[in-house]
Amino acid sequence: MKPSTLLALLCLPAPLLAASRDDALKLADTLVSANRQVESRTSSSAANTVFTRSDIDRLQPSSVTDLLSRVPGVQVAPTGGRGSLPGIFIRGTKTAQSLVLVDGVRIANASSGDSGLQFLDVDQIERIEVLRGSRSAVYGSDAIGGVIQIFTRRASGPGLQPRLRLAAGSQQTFQRSLGLSGGNGQTRFNLGASLDETAGIDSTGPSFASDGDHDAYRNKSVNLSLSHVFNERFEAGLNLLDSRGRSEYDNPFGRFDPVTFDSFGQKPYTDFTVSSLGSYLDAQLSERWHARLELGHSENRDRKRDTLSDDGSVFNTYRDQITWQNDLTLDAGHSLLLGGDWYQDRVHGSTRFDKDSRSNRALFLQHRYHGEAFSTELGVRRDQNQQFGGQTTWSGSLTVPLNADNDLLLSYSEGFRAPTFNDLYYPQYSNPDLSPERSRSYEVQWRSQLGAASQLEASLYRTDLRDAIVFGEGSIPRNVASARIDGAELALTQDWGPWRSQLGLAVIDPRDRDSGHTLARRARRTASLDLDRQFERFTLGGSWQAVSSSFDDESNRQRLGGYSLFGLRGSWAVSDTLKWEAKLDNLLDKRYSRALYSYDGSTYGYREAGRTWLLSLTWTPAL
């Protein structure tokens, strides 16, 4: 979309803007997550990265985590192949310190803090927004490192648009997806389903003989989005995403018999479900008052079993949430964001907790001023949690336009993370007296339109963590750790004639303040580059990713080697309705590990997939 068209969209009256939210999700230059409302990316104070559906189609990622590894300042460390548990570190913070949303609904597992991103199928996704830096003043708990919001697929326009995709690749990978979208001026819908299967890889080296097999992965996903505009003042809709299946994995530590003190091999697997259901009502209550009410429900279910024994466990968490948001336009330069959140977490499983539910309620307020000489943003949020009590977080930013093409941003933000149910109530390995983890962040950003075909975004930041939860003597969690994270990020988009390049660089120094050691599994330097070209009906692209060495443990004794990966991709649009796509990942068949494990007194790396290929056919017939 042309910049003039985008500007016109963002300047529309609020009733039309609300009705155009689905359209805004398809634009690369808009942002929704930073302030829970549609705005231009350049007007937001948050450092951000956006992947639209067209980006996903162009990059051909194998998973959501594959996309996230392209974001400067974001590192991904899985423990094996497809479906394995990943560590996701945004600006050096740990997985549970970043908030993950699907269509505005929190999806993290309340017992462990993991969000199950490895189980979400990219075929069901319209858009991913990644905010780097704390947004607790808007979202509350967990948003210390940042926010990842995933939007399910939306209709592309009026009429009916069916789609069918079939793919096959290495490791006996087979993918099938089917979808239908459409609508008219008032009602839009999208319905999709997919099945993703692979035989996987053997993710561990020397261990029990039972771990010598490949670890298969199977994922069945469905999504539904539906919206209806009643009139110029009211719109309602709902969004559903459900992913469930089975993920096999290796247990190099084996099963321990407390009677004989022997260990036995296992063939474990996880039956998983990650689902979210959200509904909303948009209302233009007056010329200056726009309100949005959202209701959501999410489930994160995990049942672990073993083929060779009766061992098993169940950890299911459920969350209900309500958000009421009000956008008030005071005058041409001033606006207010005012709202409230409520959510309740419930845990049910084979392990009995002293408490299995808790609720959280919050109020948030943000004032924004936009002027020619400068712009400001000041926000505050008060959370009241049933278990840990009250927590107040603040944020503020100042934007100074240096000239028509360059902006300087200064910002300060506070964050916190509430302890999980495992931290608080897991039998014999918990501490009910834990306090929330807290953070303070300082950031300087420079955004520049270097030329008609070149955009640069750079950030310098510092985050101070205190009351961090660590597992001390007897594996009991305590609020004793503190950390300091300094970092720099750069994102450069450059067009070279028919070629388009996107470069991301990050340098980080994440240190434990007490020991001086580098935080585990955080590489100090990362880089990624995507280069693509369109040849009428053909496209050609390549990717490069480089990650420096890191440590797998907090004492910095077990080193993980650095690595670099190359990939190629291409497509051929045979006709307006038929397209072939092909890709090669890890082109040079690099052997590397992003996490370690110990067996029989030695340390080994979890294996990553070598060279892989995938060939797909997409059919979008016209009706």
pLDDT of residue 16: 40
H-run or E-run covering 460: strand 454-471
- The mean pLDDT of 412-433, rounded to a whole number, is 93
Of 279-288, 367-376, 474-483, 487-496, the least confident: 474-483
Confidence (pLDDT) at 345? 96
pLDDT higher than threshold 70 for residue 11: no
The pLDDT of residue 355 is 92
User: Beta 406-417 vs 596-599: how paired, if at all?
Assistant: unpaired
Number of neighbours of residue 257 by Cβ within 10 angstroms: 10
Element holding 125 (H helix, E strand): strand 125-132
What pLDDT, on a 0 to 100 scale, did the predictor assign at position 15? 36
Cβ neighbours of residue 407 closer than 8 Å, sequence gap 6 or more: 42, 399, 400, 401, 445, 446, 447, 448
Q: Beta 602-605 vs 596-599: how paired, if at all?
A: antiparallel
pLDDT above 50 (res 7): no
Residue 175: in which H helix or E strand, if any? strand 173-183
CA 593 to chain centroid, in Å, comes to 22
8 pLDDT more than 50:
no
Residue 21, pLDDT score: 82
The helix/strand/coil state of 373 is coil
Residues in contact with 157: Cβ distance below 8 Å, sequence separation at least 6, in sequence order: 182
Cα 166 from Cα 47, distance rounded (Å) = 36
Q: Are strands 563-573 and 125-132 parallel, antiparallel or unpaired?
A: unpaired
- Domains of the chain with CATH codes: 3-619 (2.40.170.20)
pLDDT digits over 176-201, tens only? 999 999 998 899 999 999 999 999 99
Handedness of CA 299, 305, 310, 312 (dihedral sign): negative
Whether 80 shows a pLDDT value over 90: the answer reads: no
What integer pLDDT is reported at residue 385 of this predicted model?
92
Rounded Cα distance, 194 and 221, in Å = 5
Given this model, what pLDDT does residue 258 score?
Answer: 67
- pLDDT reported for residue 3: 41
CB neighbour list of residue 341: distance below 8 Å, 6 or more residues apart: 140, 321, 322, 323, 360, 361, 362, 364
pLDDT at 202: 92
Per-residue three-class SS string for 66-104? HHHCCCCCEEEEECCCCCCCEEEEECCCCHHHEEEEECC
Q: What is the pLDDT of residues 474-525, one digit of tens each?
A: 789 989 889 999 999 999 999 988 999 999 999 999 999 989 999 999 999 9
Single pTM value for the model:
0.94
- Would you list the DSSP string of 508-575? EEEEETTT-PBPTT--SEEEEEEEEEEETTEEEEEEEEEE--EESSTTS-SEEPPEEEEEEEEEEE-S
Cα–Cα distance, 541 to 530 (Å, whole number): 7
Bridge partners for 571 per DSSP? 539, 581
Determine the pLDDT at residue 156.
Answer: 81
Q: Strands, E, within 307-435: which ranges?
A: 312-329, 334-349, 357-370, 375-385, 389-403, 406-417
Mean pLDDT of 426-433: 91
pLDDT reading at 430 higher than 70: yes
Q: Say if residues 463 and 438 touch (Cβ distance below 8 Å).
A: no
Q: Over the chain, what is the mean pLDDT? A: 92
Q: Tell me what pLDDT residue 276 has.
A: 97
Q: What is the bridge-based pairing of β-strands 499-512 and 525-535?
A: antiparallel
Residue 12 token pair = 């529309």
Amino acid at 618: T
170, 167, 223: which is closest to 196 by C-alpha? 167
Q: What is the mean pLDDT of residues 553-558?
A: 92
Write the pLDDT tens digit of every residue in 206-250: 888 888 889 999 999 999 999 999 998 999 999 999 999 999 998
Q: Which pLDDT does position 161 carry in this prediction?
A: 94
The whole-number average pLDDT for the span 27-54 is 93
The enclosing H or E element of 18 equals helix 14-19
3-state secondary structure at position 606: coil
pLDDT tens digits, one per residue of 535-554: 989 999 999 999 999 999 98
Residue 389 binned pLDDT confidence (cut-offs 50, 70, 90):
confident
Residue 13, pLDDT above cutoff 50: no
Among the listed residues 422, 556, 403, the one whose alpha carbon sits nearest the alpha carbon of residue 477: 422
Distance CA 339, CA 343 (A): 14
Contact partners, residue 373, CB within 8 Å, separation at least 6: 400, 401
Mean pLDDT of 434-439: 94
Cβ atoms 335, 313 nearer than 8 A: no
Residue range 291-339, pLDDT digits in tens: 999 999 999 999 999 998 888 999 999 999 999 999 999 999 999 999 9
pLDDT value for 10: 43
Assign 445 to helix, strand or coil: strand
Task: Tell me which residue of 169, 89, 159 sits closest to 130, measured CA to CA.
Answer: 89
